[in-house]
Structure formats: C-alpha cells, structure tokens
Chains A and B, each alone.
Chain A
Amino acid sequence: MMKCWVDRLSHISALFGAYLFFSIGLIIAYEVSARYVFNMPTIWVEEVSRLLQLWGCYLSMAWVLKKRKIIRITILLERLSGVWAKLAELISITIIALFSLVTIYYASSITYDSLQLNRHTSSMLGSPSWLFDVSIVVGFILLFLQCLVEFVTVIKQQNVEFNREHDI
C-alpha cells in the first residue's frame, strides 16, 4: 500500500518537475522577445528560472532512483548474484537514505533560519530565500521515502538486476 502511494507520489512530482523545466525554456524565450521585440527586459525571468530549476531537479530525484537511472559503476555488480547482489543494492540504498536524512535535517534548519530572519535573495526581485531552501527539504523527503520502499522491495526480490544507464 505504502509502496503504491510513494511510487505514485514520486511519479507525479517528477512529471511536475519535467514540465517545470519545459516552462523554463518558454519563459527564457519570452525574456529574449521582451528585450528585443518589446524593449522591456524583465526582472523576474532569471530568478524564477533558477527557482524552477531547483524545484524541477529535486522533485524528480525520487523517481530517478525508482527507475534506477542514477549513474553508477556496474562492472563489478554485473558479476554478482544472489545474496551478494542484494547486499550491494541494500548498502547503496542505505547510503542514499542516510545522506537524505542528514540533508533533510540541516536543510530544514537553513529553511527555518531563512523564515525566521526573513532572508531574501540579493537580486532586483528579492524573492524569499526559503522558497529556494525548502526545495531541498521536499526533494530529499521524497527521496528518503523512495529509499524505504526500494529497501523493502530489494529484500523481497529473488534476483537483483543491474542495468547500464545512459546520460549525455
């Protein structure tokens, strides 16, 4: 039940993240036309694009983990089988989960400080800093939940398979 919900949450947040990146392309093109066609450069495009990029990236991490698309070296893993393969996978997931927990703790502290001190970015738009900081907290909570689900899934699996993954 929990697996189903967490998987769905990761999927929806990644889809949202994907369209955030797409919308960045549109608003940057709008900025160029605002500058050259309407002679009215904006003050919000750069900062909003960076904010969307942060959210788009961190919202999608959990889905990338679920899909096992994160880049790793598989030369040794491909030769492992049975309990060793399972152990290697569990160690990986545990490290990601621990990293996520520590990050959630400290990123929450930064976000709390930003809220308390009413910090703003130093740009002309002067957006609240917590909007940037909280993306890390949300992203790593999703990632941690996905780690829990993947941990249980790997334990229940008969055979763990490793894929070579692609990047650019």
Chain B
Amino acid sequence: MIIVTVLLVMLSLMLIGVPIAFTLGGMGLSMLMLADFSPLIASQALVSSIDSFILLSVPLFLLMSNVLLKGGVGTDLFNAVQSWVGHLPGGLGIATILSCAFFAAISGSSVATAATIGTVAIPEMIKRGYPRHFVFGLLAAGGTLGILIPPSIPMIVYGVITEESIVDLFMAGIGPGIFLVLLFTAYSVYFALRNQSKDSAGIQGSPAKSTSAQRLATTLRASPVFILAAIVLGGIYGGVFTPTESAGVGLIVSLLIVAIRKSLSLANLHKAIVESLQTTVVIFMIIGGAKIFSKAITLYRIPQDITTLITSNIDQVGLFILVVCLVLLVLGFFLESISMLLIMVPVLLPSLGVLGIDPIWFGIIFVIMIECALITPPVGLNLFVIQAVGKADITEVIAGVYPFILLMFGAVICIFFIPDIALYIPFKM
C-alpha cells in the first residue's frame, strides 16, 4: 500500500511539472517527517551526496567535452576518419559512427558527441544524397555511444550509487560500445547499398578514395584527439590516475589542444564553462534529491519489500532483466537518463544480490536502455540535439531512430546471452 501511494504521489508531482530533484527531495523529506524521523537526515544527505571525489569527474568530463565541442575538434576528427573509410560503400555512415565512437572515448556526454559530430557530418551526408531521416537517426543514435564508451557520466553515477568500481564499469563499456559500433556500421552499409542510386534522388556513391598523403595530413591534424583518448583511458586503465584525476588532466590537455589550434576564443571558453556548470548543477540537484528519497524509502523498507515482491514472483534472471528493460523503456518515454538511474537503481539494487546478478553487467544493460531513452520520443534528449544541429523537423528525426532502437535491443539481447561482451575486458583480460 505504501509503495503504491509513494508511486502515485511521485508520478502526480512529476506530471504537474514539479522538478524531478524537488519531487524526490520533497517526498523524501515529507516521508521522514511523517514517520517521525529527524529531518536533519535530509540536510546531511544534501552535503554527503555532493561531497564526493568520484562525482567530481562529472563536471570535469563535461567541461572537457564542452571545450572540445566549442573548439571545433569534430571537423578534424571527422575528416581524418572519412579519409580512411569514406570511399567504402556507406562510407560516410561508417565515418560518422566511427567519429562518434572516437569522440565518445574523450567525452562522457551523449549531447556533446551528437552535437560535435552532427555539426560536421549532417551537412556532408545530406549533400551526398543520404535521406534526411536516416542521417538524423544515425547521428542521434551515434551520439548515445558517448555514454556507453568510457568515460561515461551515467556510469560514474551508477558506480556511486552501487559502490562498484568506476574503472571496472568503464572497462565493461568498451566491448558493448564496439559491438554497437559494429551493428550501426553494418546497418549503415546495408542502408547505403540498398538505397544507392545513380540519379540525383538517391545516395550518390561514396567520395573518392583519399591519397596516402591526404590520409597522413588529416590523421596528423586529428592526432591530438587520439592522444587525448589514450591519456584519459590509458591513464585510468593503467592505474596512473583515478577517473577524477583523468578528467582533470583531460581538461588541461583539451585546453592545450584548442589553444594550439587557436580555435577557442575566451568568450567561447566562458560559454563552455557556464554550460558545463548548468548541466552539472542540474544533475547534482537530482542526485541530492534522490539521496534524500533513497534514505527515506530505505527507512520505510520499500526496497526490501520490492525485492521480496520480485524474488517471490520472479526467480529467473532473464525474466527479471526483461521486466527491468520494459520498465526502463516505458520510463524512458517521459524521464531523462540520470533521473531513471537515480530512481530505479537504489530500488533494484538489493534484488541483484538475491538473484545473483553481476552489478557491472547489469550496469551495462541499464546504460544501453538509457541510450534507448535518449532517442525515444517524446523526451529523448538526442532527438532535440539533432533537431537543433540539423535544423530539422522533430518528426524527421523520430522517423530515423527506430531502426537504431531495434539494434540497441538486439545488443541488449546479445549481452544477456553472451555476458563476456561486457565482462571480458574488465575481468578476463
């Protein structure tokens, strides 16, 4: 009864437009007061939720992404990748997805990935006759790689909630990231071959093959991006830095890159700093609210009750994952990524132990479902990013994302049956 009441009140408050952070925080505080628990718990939670060295990597990775976005490094990256694969069938699609993957390796944000690569790739692909809905769908989906390929902000938040190793989570994201890149690439090639046409209405073949000199020149120009990715990921994996330190070093290196390229004015640097702050504060407010809510529901024993409910009705891991994925799919229609993570994970966490589910593996499945939420209407964030970057109609973007959502479901199914896609790199390499 309490669970149903809490759910109903929470949904009602959210639907009338109360910000998610204050819905969670306000409900948590009210629940504490109603049950005669000290409201001091709420104030302490507001300090302890943000007083975290691991969470520091969130603003720093966001800053790094925004500096690179405003510094226009996307053009160099796209040109370099295109010089290697652009001539292949569906080459521009392959170049777009690979550019998204490389940018994802230096950015924890799907928005930054979609916006950075979208700015360069959308005009190029449309010029080559690719259907607009396909281009927008490809970029919206490609952008979501930003949160699967490490570094990843949702993985940092997931690691903080579950107290799992952020490094293990990052490493577990690499395999599924590459797997999704392969799926998206294969679909791009298939689409291009099916729609290739010699008249002006269809895709007009691939650009001419670049010469070795052109490849060398474009790769050298984009090399700082590859070096930055090596520093950020190599530093974490090699145990040289913690993820937070890696983000700090990455920020300095990205500032050096844009300074050497002379591609970032002080005004744009200021803009990057302010925009990163805005996103950070929005995320941290939800984290603070969710911490209060999570304290309150724990004191009411709600997660334990839900675990009992789940484990007494569901005893198969597959069924549990299916139910979770369906719930996340529905939530994704109206909740954004971090809120989904902060509302669902504390409630589901006790069930993972009872059902013997690896939290790292579950985290990767969760993040892919969040990726789906980023491109499902009506609130899929990447849809609006691509709409803005591509000056498109939202219906065109929505029409383009469906095949990619199906590919992501396919990836979840494969990772379910072959957990090593995620777990091989962190635990068996």
Interface residues of B in 228-282 (CB under 8 A from A): 240-241, 244-245, 247-249, 251-252, 273-274, 276-282
A54 in contact with B248 (CB, 8 Å):
no
Shortest Cβ gap from A83 to chain B (Å):
14
B407: chain A residues at CB < 8 Å are none
- Complex: chain A residue closest to B338, CB-CB: A167
A6 within 8 A of B: no
A75 in contact with B15 (CB, 8 Å):
yes
A168 in contact with B109 (CB, 8 Å):
yes
A91–B12 alpha-carbon span in the complex (Å)? 12
B326 within 8 A of A: no
A54 in contact with B47 (CB, 8 Å):
yes
A71: chain B residues at CB < 8 Å are 19-21, 282, 286, 336, 338-339
Interface 1/0 per residue, B301-339 and A, CB below 8 Å: 000000000000000000000000000000000111111
Contact status of A61 and B50, CB under 8 A, knowing A91-B18, A166-B111: no
A95 in contact with B15 (CB, 8 Å):
no
B101 within 8 A of A: no
Contact status of A19 and B282, CB under 8 A, knowing A25-B248, A25-B251, A102-B39: no
Contact status of A29 and B248, CB under 8 A, knowing A103-B46, A168-B108: yes
Residue of A14, A21, A46, A61 with most partner-chain B CB within 10 A:
A21
Contacting residue for A132 out of B39, B51, B283, CB 8 A: B51
A31: chain B residues at CB < 8 Å are 245, 248
A61 in contact with B281 (CB, 8 Å):
yes
A106: chain B residues at CB < 8 Å are 39-40, 42-43
For chain A, what secondary structure do more than half of its interface residues adopt (helix, strand, loop), or is it mixed?
A: helix
A73–B381 alpha-carbon span in the complex (Å)? 12
Interface residues of B in 184-206 (CB under 8 A from A): none
A132–B43 alpha-carbon span in the complex (Å)? 12
Interface 1/0 per residue, A5-42 and B, CB below 8 Å: 00000000011011101101111110110001000000
Contact status of A99 and B26, CB under 8 A, knowing A109-B40, A168-B154: yes
A73 in contact with B17 (CB, 8 Å):
yes
Contacting chain A: which of B58-66, B125-133, B208-216?
B58-66
Shortest Cβ gap from B37 to chain A (Å):
12
Shortest Cβ gap from B302 to chain A (Å):
21
A167: chain B residues at CB < 8 Å are 111, 279, 282-283, 336-338, 381
Contacting residue for B334 out of A27, A73, A95, A103, CB 8 A: A73
B381 in contact with A102 (CB, 8 Å):
no
Contacting residue for B47 out of A61, A72, A136, CB 8 A: A136
Contacting residue for B17 out of A15, A32, A99, A162, CB 8 A: A162
Shortest Cβ gap from A20 to chain B (Å):
9
Interface 1/0 per residue, B81-125 and A, CB below 8 Å: 000000000000000000000000000111100000000000000
For chain B, what secondary structure do more than half of its interface residues adopt (helix, strand, loop), or is it mixed?
A: helix
- Complex: chain A residue closest to B245, CB-CB: A32
A28–B274 alpha-carbon span in the complex (Å)? 19
A53–B54 alpha-carbon span in the complex (Å)? 11
B244: chain A residues at CB < 8 Å are 28
A146 within 8 A of B: no
A57 in contact with B63 (CB, 8 Å):
no
Contact status of A72 and B20, CB under 8 A, knowing A18-B273, A32-B248, A168-B62: yes
A106–B42 alpha-carbon span in the complex (Å)? 9
- Complex: chain A residue closest to B241, CB-CB: A32
B78: chain A residues at CB < 8 Å are none
- List, sorted by A's number, 28 A–B pairs whose CB atoms are closer than 8 Å: A24-B56, A26-B248, A28-B247, A29-B245, A29-B248, A32-B241, A32-B245, A32-B249, A53-B52, A53-B55, A53-B56, A57-B285, A69-B278, A69-B282, A70-B22, A70-B282, A70-B285, A71-B282, A72-B17, A74-B17, A77-B17, A88-B16, A92-B18, A96-B19, A110-B43, A136-B47, A167-B337, A168-B337
B residues touching A (Cβ–Cβ < 8 Å)? 13-22, 25-26, 29, 39-40, 42-44, 46-47, 50-53, 55-56, 59-60, 62-63, 108-111, 147, 153-154, 240-241, 244-245, 247-249, 251-252, 273-274, 276-286, 334-339, 378-379, 381, 384-385
* 6 interchain residue pairs of minimum CB distance: A28-B248, A18-B277, A70-B19, A25-B251, A107-B43, A106-B43
15 new A-B contacts, CB < 8 A, other than A24-B59, A70-B285, A72-B20, are A21-B63, A28-B248, A29-B251, A32-B248, A54-B51, A56-B277, A60-B281, A71-B282, A71-B338, A71-B339, A72-B14, A73-B20, A75-B379, A92-B19, A133-B47
